[in-house]
Amino acid sequence: MNDEQLHAMRHSLAHITAAAVQRIWPDAKFGVGPVVENGFYYDIDLGERKISEANFAKIEKEMRGIISYGDDFERFEMPIDQAIDWARQNNQPYKEELLNDLKRSGTTIAKDLDANELGLATEGDAAVETVSFYKNGNFVDLCRGPHVANTKDVGAFKLLRVAGAYWRGNEKNPQMQRLYGVAFATQEELDQYLERLEQAKLRDHRKLGKELDLYTISNLVGPGLPLFTPRGTVLRDIMSTYSNQLRQRYGFQKVFTPHITKKELYETSGHWAKFGDELFLVTSQETSDNFALKPMNCPHHTQIYVSQPRSYKDMPIRYLETTTDYRDEKTGELGGLNRVRSLTQDDSHVFARPDQIEQEIHNLLSSARELYDTIGMKLRVRLSYRDDGEGYLGEMALWETAQAQLKNAVIANELEYFEQEGEAAFYGPKIDFMATDAIGREHQVATVQLDFVQPERFGLTYTDQEGKDAQPVMIHCALLGSIERFLSVFIEHTGGWFPLWAAPEQIRILTINDQVLPYVDEIKAVLSSVVLDKPVKFNELRFTVDDRNESLGKKIREATNWKIPVQLIVGPQDQESRQVSVRTQAGEEKVSLDALADYLKAL
C-alpha cells in the first residue's frame, strides 16, 4: 500500500468514526477530521457529554458495523450556498462556519487549520463557488477527498485517545473533543505499532528520569532548566567524558569559554541578525555593555584562534568544549530532557586549510561512527544543502565545492545517506546524523557543518607557505549533540537498563545475612580495584552494598527497580566456596571471587 492509499484509508476512517459517533449521539456537531502521523482524528462537540476511553469499545463496534455494511464512498458536489443550507438544516454550526469562510476565501481556512489535511478545497485565495461532499451510508461530510472506494477497504484501526482541543486552535473558541485513532494496512502492522507505543510509554524518559532519580525540574528555577541529581550527573559525566576522550584521540584539544559574551561577538558573527530573538539577553547593572547567553560556541572559539599568530604548519587546529548553551525556547515546547533551554553541547571546531577539508570531514565522520557503534545505534545521514532562498551567507561557488566535498566524504565512509535542499545552516552546508533507537524510532543526533563565513567575518588568518595571510575554513561538529537531548534518546533506547560502563550504580551487593559481612569486605576490595577501560577510560566501578535486614526477594526487587545491571548475591554458601552469584539481565551464574574482576571487565 503506498502513502496515498494509506492516507485515503485513514481519512476514510475519520469519516467512519464520525458516522459511528453520530449513530450513538445523533446531536453530535462535527469540526474537522484530518489524517495525522500513523492515523487520524475527528473534532467533535457533544455539549456537556464527555467521551472517555470506556466509550471506545462501543464506538469501535459501531465503526465495525458501518464497515461490514460495505457502503461505497460517493462523491458529489453542491453550490456553496446550498451547502451552507445543508449545514444549517443538519445542525452543524462548525461546518457552516467553514463553508462561510470558504465562500469568502479558501486560504483563511488553510491558515488556521492546515486545510490540506482537512480534505477541503483550498486552492488559491479566491472565493469558492462549489464544494465537494462524500457520503457513505447515511453519513454525509463536506470533504475534498480522496477516499477509499468502499468502507470495507479501511485496513486495521484502533481508537487511541481523546483530548480537549479548541475549535480552530483558538482558546477563545469552544473546546471540542478530539478523538484520535491509529490505522494501518494490516492488523500485523497495527499490532507492531501498538506494541511500539506500549514500549515507548514504558521507556518514556520523563517517567524513567523520575523512577531512576536522574533529574528534577524546579518551579523556582524554571521550565526547561533541568537539575541533575547525583545519579543523573554520573550519567551526564560518563557521556561527556566518553565524547571528550574520543575526540581527544581524534586530535582535539579542550578549551573553556564563558557562558556570556558581549553582543558585539554575535553581531560580528552574523548570529545577532539571524537568531537575535532566540537569545537570552543579559543586562549588566554595572556597565552599559549588552550581553547575551551563548547559544553556540563557535564565535567564542574564533577568539581563542585569533589570540596567537597561526602558521600553515599549525593547521588544523582542533578545539573541543563540552559546555552548556542557552536558547530561549518557547515554554510550550519544553518537555523533559528532549527540548530544554539549557543544552550542553559536546561541541568541536576545526580550523583547517582548504586542502585539509576532506581529511577533516573524514576524521569527524569516523569519530561519529565510532561513538554510535558503542552506543549501539544505527546511523543514517542527511546531506543538507542550500536552496535558492535568501539568508545564506557566502559565495555560491564555495557552497557548491563544499557540498560536493561533504558528499564525497560520506560516500567514502560508506554511510547510508539522503540529500535535502534548503536544510543547510546560513553559513554552510552540513551533515546531520540520524540514529535509530531500539524500538525503531529515528532521532537527529550528531552534526558536521562546514563554514566559510565566520572565518571571513572574524578575519581569521594563518600564514601560508609563501608567508602570506590565508583564510582557514571552520568545521563545526557535535557528536552527542545536546547531552540533555541525547540522554532523553539514550534513556528510551536502553529503557533505563544502561550498559555497565554507563550505569550510575553499576553493581549492588545483596547480602543474605550478616554472617557474610567479612566476605563482603573482600568482594568490595576486589570491586574497588577494578577500573573499566572501554569505552570510557579510567572508569572506576560504582557499587553499593545492601546489607539491610530485609529479605533477599525485597533486595532483588529494589535493585531491579533501579535497573542496576549487575547484582552480586552473597550468602553463607558463597562465602564458603569463595564464589558470588552474579545476576544480570542475561540470568544468574556463579563466579569465583578470583575470577570476578576479569568477569566484570568482560561484561
Element (H, E) at 468: none
Which of 77, 129, 188, 264 touches a second copy by CB under 8 A?
264
| Residue number with CB closer to a second copy (340 or 600) | 340
Kindly state the smallest distance separating residue 98's Cβ from a second copy, in Å. 31
What residues numbered 82-111 form the site for a second copy, per CB under 8 A? none
Set 22, 92, 345, 567: catalytic member:
345
Say how far apart CA 23 and CA 420 lie, in whole Å: 47
| Residue number with CB closer to a second copy (399 or 462) | 462
Site string for a second copy, 336-355 (x = CB under 8 A): -----xx-------------
The values of phi and psi at residue 102, to 5°, are -60, -35
Which of 8, 18, 279, 541 touches a second copy by CB under 8 A?
279
Helix 483-494 vs helix 230-249: crossing angle, to nearest 10 = 110
Going by the DSSP 8-state scheme, the letter that residue 296 receives in this structure is -
Say how far apart CA 190 and CA 428 lie, in whole Å: 41
Kindly state the smallest distance separating residue 356's Cβ from a second copy, in Å. 19
Is residue 550 part of the contact set for a second copy (CB under 8 A)?
no
Site string for a second copy, 496-535 (x = CB under 8 A): ----------------------------------------
The values of phi and psi at residue 226, to 5°, are -65, 145
Which of 63, 128, 239, 293 touches a second copy by CB under 8 A?
293
According to DSSP, the β-strands at 215-216 and 442-451 are unpaired
Set 327, 386, 493, 563: catalytic member:
327
Nearest partner of 151 among 193, 123, 183, 104, judged by Cα: 183
Please say if 29 is a catalytic residue.
Answer: no
Element (H, E) at 79: strand 74-79
Please say if 349 is a catalytic residue.
Answer: yes
Say how far apart CA 548 and CA 509 lie, in whole Å: 11
Which of 171, 277, 355, 414 touches a second copy by CB under 8 A?
277
Say how far apart CA 230 and CA 324 lie, in whole Å: 18
What residues numbered 222-261 form the site for a second copy, per CB under 8 A? 222, 225-230, 232-234, 236-237, 253-261
| Residue number with CB closer to a second copy (103 or 262) | 262
Question: Which own/partner pairs from 123-128 qualify as long-range (CB within 8 Å, at least 24 positions apart)?
Answer: 127/102, 127/103, 128/80, 128/102, 128/103
Kindly state the smallest distance separating residue 291's Cβ from a second copy, in Å. 7
Kindly state the smallest distance separating residue 317's Cβ from a second copy, in Å. 9
Say how far apart CA 432 and CA 414 lie, in whole Å: 15
| Residue number with CB closer to a second copy (334 or 398) | 334
Nearest partner of 475 among 494, 459, 453, judged by Cα: 453
Kindly state the smallest distance separating residue 518's Cβ from a second copy, in Å. 23
Set 298, 443, 506, 583: catalytic member:
298
| Residue number with CB closer to a second copy (257 or 584) | 257
Which of 14, 18, 143, 265 touches a second copy by CB under 8 A?
265
The values of phi and psi at residue 501, to 5°, are -65, -25
Give the rounded distance of the alpha carbon of 30 from its chain centre.
33
Cα dist from 291 to 32, 345, 452, 553, whole Å: 47, 20, 26, 57
Is residue 543 part of the contact set for a second copy (CB under 8 A)?
no
| Residue number with CB closer to a second copy (5 or 233) | 233
Among 125-133, 193-201, 301-309, 556-564, the segment contacting a second copy (CB under 8 A): 301-309
| Residue number with CB closer to a second copy (112 or 325) | 325
| Residue number with CB closer to a second copy (424 or 460) | 460
Among 1-9, 14-22, 280-288, 353-361, the segment contacting a second copy (CB under 8 A): 280-288
Whether the ω angle into residue 309 lies within 30 degrees of 0, i.e. cis, is no
Kindly state the smallest distance separating residue 527's Cβ from a second copy, in Å. 16
Kindly state the smallest distance separating residue 228's Cβ from a second copy, in Å. 4
Nearest partner of 476 among 253, 296, 250, 333, judged by Cα: 296
| Residue number with CB closer to a second copy (218 or 551) | 218
Please say if 301 is a catalytic residue.
Answer: no
CB 337 within 8 A of CB 489: no
Nearest partner of 234 among 509, 538, 503, 535, judged by Cα: 503
Say how far apart CA 411 and CA 283 lie, in whole Å: 48
Site string for a second copy, 308-327 (x = CB under 8 A): x----------x----x-x-
Cell 527540548 identifies what position? 339
Q: Which residues 6+ apart lie within 8 Å of 244 measured at CB?
A: 254, 320, 322, 346
Which of 60, 85, 189, 329 touches a second copy by CB under 8 A?
329
Look at phi and psi of residue 316 and say left if phi exceeds 0, alpha if psi is from -120 to 50, else beta.
beta
User: Which grid coordinates belong to 323?
Assistant: 559546555
Active-site residue numbers? 298, 327, 345, 347, 349, 430, 476
Q: Which residues bind a second copy (CB under 8 A)?
A: 213, 216, 218-222, 225-230, 232-234, 236-237, 253-262, 264-265, 268, 277-287, 289, 291, 293, 299-300, 303-304, 306-308, 319, 324, 326, 328-331, 341-342, 537-538
